[in-house]
Each structure stands twice: as structure tokens, then as C-alpha cells.
Amino acid sequence: MNIWNQHLELPVITLPEVDLTDPEVLRDPFTAYGRARERGPLARLLIPGLGQIWAVTRHDGARAMLGDARFELTADSFMRPQVPDDCLPYMRTMSEMEGPEHARLRRLVAPAFSPRRAAEFRPRIEGIVDALLEDLPSRADGGQVDLLRHFARPLPMDVICALVGIPEEDRPRWREWGATVAAGAGPDFARAIPGIMAGARDAVAAARADHSGEPGGGVLGELVRVQAEDGDRLSDTEIVTLVWHLVLAGQTPTNLIANAVAALLSHPDQLAAVRADPALMPGAVEELIRWCGPTLLAIPRHARQDVDLYGATVPRGAKITALVAAANRDPRVFADPDRLDVTRAPGAGHLGFAHGPHFCLGASIARVQTQAALTALLRRFPGLAMAAPPDELRAPDPGTWRLAALPVTL
């Protein structure tokens, strides 16, 4: 059955509207987006300066839309900062590509980001986690330490540096760039981009000089090896662009880890469960992504043509997104969806890493990184506790569920 043909009784004029500047939406997007989901499978988002964006609210529709070739990601799906001319060749990442062009590049680079490669890289990730945790007590002030600033934020960039092969002496600079990227758009973000791209070019040159491609040695060695093989090759521009994209997209674990820590510390029964049985951690991470993952809205797509959805017509060129926060708590798919349950059996799967051709390339690395971070943190600090209520620490962001700080006592 074509799911788009369901709910034909839904007139366009009844579509719920969600104002993304509404303080209640910013405070509790799960409730606001969930309310829209229960009113119908489609909604409209109101964004000042951008007009209306169509939104698919339920799990089946969101999953279908994310895999539907009639909706495409374009440069207009992203907010591009102003950069110098020499950076422009690297700004068009794989996220903006569709069809054969996207499939070709993804086929070439996907093996470097496979679950197997992520598992091989786990010992290095665990070493990075341990080093950050070893340093954590020295960062305490008045008995408290900001876990976001001193653990969750530096971790992803340290992992990326290890993945890419950035020399140790250059990593403090890359860590600063990572913090800037994680903070979002703005003049500091734009100023960091040339440095990241120059560092990426240097890293590619170093990887080519080494060209070992050994397992666990980083993704650049693997990509340079692919480039050197006969057949469909990667260009230097494509590899540098991939490194820049890795820096940009690779900050997701920052907010995921912070959200997960706050969720577990606020749910003592769930915290006790993962402490008692570390084998639960892989499944617990999937549940935490579903329940409090940072992605609230999917990157907007554009309709290639007029598309009929649930009896409404999305016109050609219109923007459409998926309410990931609503889909991941859809009671049609998840039993008792608003309850955090680290023992929840795998089901239809969350959409925290999107779906379809643009499923997050780095999902395996993000999963391993989050598992390693939470496992080591809970083991090393059995008395870990929140030093402020999470609701008071939220950043007002309708698209990303994130904390502005995460003060804890160790």
C-alpha cells in the first residue's frame, strides 16, 4: 500500500501549524511536535523569514519521505556561511548530491565508515575517552565540572583527528575549530572554515605519503588507497571535502552524549540498569537516540515536482522536513513511546540518523563513540550526579535538542 494515499479525509486547511519561535515549542518540542503528529500526518512549520515548511509528522511518513527521490537535498537546504574563494570548491558536500553522483561517491567512501571499521577503531576511541576522563577532575571548580565543555564537546573532534590522522601538535587548533562548529553558525564558524580546509589538504597529502591503509589507521589511508586503485577514483577535492564534511557532521556525539548523560542521571532506574549490565549499552544508546537524540527536524528537502501526500499537494519547489522528534515517539510504532527504556527491544528503528540514501555516513562511528563515552564515564565516576536541573540548561533551538552546559559533581 502507498502510505501517501492514506488519510485522504484530511483537508489541507486543517493542517496544524507549529511556530518554531513559540517559547513552549522551544521549551518542550517533544510535546509540541507530538501534538501535531496526533492531529494528522502532515503539518506546517512557521519560521520567520523563511515562510512555511511542510512537515511529515509520523514515523511511516517520515521514513518514506526521507527515502523518496521526489524530495531532494540541495544547496538551499543548508545555511552556507561566506567563505574565501579558495574554499568554494570544498563547500559542496555529499549531502547536497543526489542520484548517480551521490551513489558513486557514497559507494567509494562507505567502506571506510562501515561498522567493521568502527569496531576496529574502538580501542583508539576508548583511549581518547580515558584521557579526557583522566583530566576531568582537574577541571572541577567549586566541586562541579561542566561535562559538556570538558568531555562531550572535545571528544568528537579528538576522534576525528585520530580518524583523519591530524598530527598531535595540530590537534589543539582542531579542537578549537570543533567547539566553534558545534556552537553553530556565526562569524566565528565562517572564520574557522579556511583553517579546517587547509588542515584537511595537509592531512590528505600526509596520508598519500604514508599510503598504508592499514585497519585502524584512519579513514584517509583507506580513501587514498581507493583513489590509487584502478577504476572510479576519488579526486583530491572530493577527499578534502569529505574531511571538511566529517568535521561538520561529526559533532553530533557532542549533543548526543550530553543529552544521554542528563537523561540517565534524571532516570535513576535506567541508570541502575546500565550500571548493573554493561551489555545493555549498545541497545541503550539506540534508545537514547530515539528518546533524546539531538535531531528534532530533518534537513529540509525540496519537492522536485508536485507531490500528493495524504490528500494534500506539496507544490514543486516547496520545502519539506520530517519531525524526527515526533516520529521517534510515534505510538503507532513504539509502545509507551514517551518512556525511556534502555531494555527496549529493537523494533522499526529510530530516525535519529535519518533514512534512505542520505542515512548518516558516520552513524557507526557515532554509535561506538557514544557507547565508549557512556560506559567509561559511568564506570569511572559511580557517584556522578547533576548539579543543576536539565530543564534550566537547555539551549533554545527548535531543530536541535541540546544543552548549553552540563554541570555535574563527580
pLDDT of 215: 42
Nearest Cα residue to 369 out of 104, 158, 82? 158
Kindly give the parts of the chain with pLDDT less than 70. 1-13, 75-83, 182-186, 211-218, 230-232
pLDDT of 268: 97
- CB atoms under 10 Å from CB of 210, counted, come to 15
- pTM given for the model: 0.89
pLDDT of 9: 45
pLDDT of 81: 62
Torsions phi, psi for 349 (to 5 deg): 95, 140
pLDDT of 389: 93
pLDDT of 184: 62
pLDDT of 211: 57
Nearest Cα residue to 151 out of 193, 123, 179, 188? 179
pLDDT of 3: 64
pLDDT of 12: 45
